Amino acid sequence: MMMRRRKPSRPPRKLRRSLRTEYVEPPAEAKVYVGNLPYNIDSERLAQLFEQEGVVEVSEVNQ
């Protein structure tokens, strides 16, 4: 017997459009620790790498 996968339900088109354009502020404690970085990376380069995935508000490298 072959079973078909069910596609996940999607929100209505009007809601999908508003989800794409509306930015929701993350909580203040939304921080990411990244380890094993090269010693020559700076805050600007780190932000560039993460901006490929989304909005980066602050990037800080502790050396």
Query: How many structural domains is the chain composed of?
Result: 1
C-alpha dihedral sign at 16, 17, 20, 23: negative
Is 1 among the domain residues? no
Residues 6+ away with beta carbon under 8 Å from 9? none
Is 36 among the domain residues? yes
Predicted confidence at residue 54, as pLDDT, reads 85
Is 8 among the domain residues? no
At residue 62's C-alpha, the angle toward residues 61 and 63, to 5°, is 110
Q: Which of 1-10, 22-31, 41-50, 53-62 has the highest mean pLDDT?
A: 41-50
- Rounded to whole angstroms, the Cα distance separating 42 from 59 reads 9
State which residues form the domain around 58: 29-63
Predicted confidence at residue 60, as pLDDT, reads 87
